[in-house]
Amino acid sequence: MKRMFSCHRIDAAVKGRVEGLSYKENRDITLERLRYITIAYYDFGGRLREGELMVNRKIAEDILEIFYELYQNRYPLERVALIDEYGASDERSMEANNTSAFNYRTIAGTDILSLHAYGMAVDINPRINPCVTPENVTPKNGAKYALRDPDQCQGKYKDYMIQKDDWIYTLFKSRGFQWGGDWKMIKDYQHFERPL
Ligand SMILES: [Zn+2]
């Protein structure tokens, strides 16, 4: 199964899929610095699926290892597709509970580049692990999961909410990633990032 886990430079086919969508002409990141990764994972029905991610080459090996661990431990992911399958719309990708990484974009509501723009951040099961600010929850269809206490949360997949110090948290932390759920004002429970 390890053969399903692979890492490639961005070829013409992938370039054609991302150009003008998640990848835009810019001075911050070249396609040379990004990698296309294929993985295998289990979905919530226990079915084996193929997934794909685009990440910075600096974290490509670690991301492959992390997703191999997720696969071996049958950690369920609903979907793992390039955000371009959702028109590079973060909102649509999150609503579909799609796990994704690279997207050349700013942090919502600011003009600051997100670490997703460098391929240095990954969002895991974003509907179950929404981004919660004092004002709102995104995606909207993840509102149930804003309540992080499994005893109170009504969500069907509450057992797979990422929690501080749980298995997946430790998996990312041990490879130098920070978790958005540890932030003070904004709680971005889906988000793991490594500084540039
Ligand atoms: Zn994120």
- Least confident among 95-99, 133-137, 177-181: 133-137
Q: How far is the CA of 22 from the centre of ligand 1 (A)?
A: 14
What's the pTM? 0.96
Distance between CA atoms of residues 60 and 124, nearest Å: 16
- What is the pLDDT at residue 109? 83
Q: How far is the CA of 164 from the centre of ligand 1 (A)?
A: 16
Q: Where are the domains of the chain?
A: 2-193
- What is the pLDDT at residue 3? 84
pLDDT tens digit sequence for 160-179: 999 999 999 999 999 999 99
Q: How far is the CA of 190 from the centre of ligand 1 (A)?
A: 6
**Contacts of 149 by beta carbon, 8 Å cutoff, 6+ apart:** none
Task: Kindly state the average pLDDT of the residues 135-142.
Answer: 96
Q: How far is the CA of 46 from the centre of ligand 1 (A)?
A: 25
Task: Kindly state the average pLDDT of the residues 64-93.
Answer: 98
- What is the pLDDT at residue 1? 66
pLDDT tens digit sequence for 19-41: 999 999 999 999 999 999 999 99
